[in-house]
Chain A
Amino acid sequence: MSNEAVLHAHSGAHDGHGDHSHEHHHQSFISKYVFSQDHKMIAKQFLITGMVWAVLGGFMSVLFRLQLGYPDASFPWLETILGKWAKGGHITPEAYYALVTTHGTVLVFFVLTAGLSGTFANFLIPLQIGARDMASPFMNMLSYWFFFAASIVMLSSIFVETGPFSGGWTAYPPLSALGDASPGSKSGMDLWIVSMALFVVSSLLGGLNYIATVLNMRTKGMSMTRLPLTIWALFFTAVLGVLSFPVLFSGFILLIFDRNFGTSFYLSDIFINGVGALPNEGGSAILYQHLFWFLGHPEVYIILLPAMGMVSEILSVNSRKPIFGYMAMIGSLFAIAILAFLVWAHHMFVTGLNPLLGSVFVLLTLLIAVPSAIKVFNWLTTLWRGNIRFTPGMLFAIGFVSLFISGGLTGIWLGNSALDIHLHDTYFVIAHFHIVMGVASMFGMFAGIYHWFPKMYGRFMNNTLAYIHFWVTMAGAYMIFWPMHYEGLAGMPRRYYDYSIWESFKQFQGLNQFISLIAMIVFAVQFLFLFNFFYSIFKGRKVTTQNPWEANTLEWTTPIHPGHGNWPDEIPEVHRWAYDYGKDGVDFIPQTTPVGANESVEH
Chain B
Amino acid sequence: MSTTATATTTKLWGGGKSPFDVEYGKLMMWYFLMSDALTFGAFLISYGTIRFSTNGWPDPNKVFKSYPFAAEGVNAPLVFVSIMTFILIISSVTMVLAVQAGKEMKKKAVATYLILTIIGGIAFLSCQAWEWNHLHSEGAWWGMNPFLNADGSASSTNFTNYFFTITGFHGFHVLSGVVINIIMLIMTLTDKFEKRGHYLMIEKAGLYWHFVDLVWVFVFTCFYLI
Interface residues of A (CB under 8 A from B): 1, 3, 6-10, 129-130, 135-136, 139, 204, 207-209, 211-213, 215-224, 226, 242-247, 249-251, 253-254, 257, 261-265, 281-284, 287, 290-291, 294, 573-574
Contacts and interface: CB of A to CB of B under 8 A. Distances in A.
B152 interface: no
A39 to B, nearest CB: 14
Interface of B: 11, 13-25, 27-28, 31-32, 34-36, 38-43, 46, 49-50, 53-54, 142-144, 156-158, 161-162, 165, 169, 196, 198, 200
Given A257-B161, A263-B143, A264-B156, A215 B18 contact: yes
Contact of B17 (A6, A212, A246, A249): A6
A6 B17 CA distance: 8
A265 B50 contact: yes
Contact of A7 (B24, B28, B34, B196): B24
Contacts of A213: 24
A212 B158 contact: no
B27 A218 contact: no
**Interface residues of B, dominant DSSP:** helix
Contact of A9 (B15, B23, B42, B169): B23
Nearest to A288: B46
A73 B35 CA distance: 50
Nearest to A135: B24
Nearest to A225: B13
A7 B39 contact: no
Given A135-B28, A215-B27, A221 B50 contact: no
A206 to B, nearest CB: 11
A426 B16 CA distance: 52
20 contacts: A1-B21, A3-B16, A7-B23, A7-B24, A9-B23, A9-B198, A10-B200, A136-B24, A208-B28, A208-B31, A216-B27, A222-B16, A226-B15, A246-B35, A250-B39, A250-B46, A264-B156, A281-B157, A284-B50, A284-B53
Given A6-B18, A7-B18, A9-B25, 11 more contacts: A7-B24, A208-B32, A208-B35, A216-B23, A217-B24, A218-B16, A242-B34, A243-B34, A250-B42, A254-B43, A262-B143
Given A7-B17, A223-B15, A282-B156, A212 B42 contact: no
B39 to A, nearest CB: 4
Given A6-B17, A224-B13, A281-B156, A254 B35 contact: no
Contact of B24 (A1, A212, A242, A294): A212
A223 B7 CA distance: 13
Nearest to B198: A9
Contact of A265 (B19, B39, B158): B158
A254 B14 CA distance: 44
Given A204-B35, A243-B35, A254 B165 contact: yes
Contacts of B18: 3, 6-7, 215-216
A209 B35 CA distance: 13
A287 B157 contact: no
A287 B46 contact: yes
B17 A257 contact: no
Given A243-B34, A246-B39, A291-B46, A10 B196 contact: yes
A8 B157 CA distance: 51
B143 A261 contact: yes
B46 A265 contact: yes
A431 B155 CA distance: 46
A291 B24 CA distance: 30
Contacts of B49: 284, 287, 290
A314 B27 CA distance: 31
B165 to A, nearest CB: 6
| Residue of A207, A216, A220 most packed against chain B (CB within 10 A) | A216
Nearest to A7: B18
Given A221-B16, A223-B14, A282 B27 contact: no
A291 B32 contact: no
A30 B193 CA distance: 31
A136 B28 contact: yes
A224 B41 CA distance: 31
A247 B39 contact: yes
Contacts of A220: 14-16
Nearest to A216: B18
Contact of B15 (A10, A219, A254): A219
A264 B169 CA distance: 17
Contacts of A290: 49
A265 B17 contact: no
A219 B16 CA distance: 5
Nearest to B54: A282
Nearest to A223: B14
A183 B38 CA distance: 33
A263 B165 contact: yes
A284 B20 CA distance: 43
B156 A247 contact: no
Given A6-B17, A9-B23, A245-B35, A251 B156 contact: no
